[in-house]
Amino acid sequence: MPVDHRTKQPFGLLHGGASVVLAESIGSVAGYLCTQGEQKVVGLEVNANHVRSARQGRVRGVCKALHTGARHQVWQIEIFDEQGRLCCSSRLTTAIV
Tell me, yes or no, if 24 is annotated catalytic: yes
Measured CA to CA, the distance from residue 36 to residue 21 in angstroms comes to 24
Measured CA to CA, the distance from residue 33 to residue 18 in angstroms comes to 23
Q: What is the CA radius of gyration of the chain?
A: 14
H or E element at residue 19: helix 16-33
Which residue among 24, 38, 45, 82 is the active-site one? 24
Active-site amino acid positions: 24
